[in-house]
Amino acid sequence: MSFLGRIFNRKPPGEELQVPPQPLPQRNDACWCGSRKKYKKCHLEADQRQLTRIREREQACSPVFG
């Protein structure tokens, strides 16, 4: 494998499905990621999206018939 190929095959850790910690911080609290920003200005939207995606995945796994 080429040198460039090795670099591009390495996945950055942020690419993984990151589950936000529970309980989530309040909107005006400091974000859980340690950025010292308010949660609503940092991970709030990303967490909502992530939780929606996780919920959708769980629903897709469970049977919906009947």
Q: Is 42 in the site for Zn ion (CB under 5 A)?
A: yes
Written as six digits, the tokens of 20 are 């936000």
Question: Among residues 35 and 52, whose Cβ is nearest to Zn ion?
Answer: 35
Q: Is 33 in the site for Zn ion (CB under 5 A)?
A: yes
Distance between CA atoms of residues 18 and 6, nearest Å: 24
- Smallest distance, Zn ion to C-beta of residue 22, A: 15
Q: Is 31 in the site for Zn ion (CB under 5 A)?
A: yes
Q: How far does Cα 45 stand from its chain's mean position?
A: 10
Q: How far does Cα 5 stand from its chain's mean position?
A: 27
User: Which chain residues interact with Zn ion by CB under 5 A?
Assistant: 31, 33, 35, 42-43
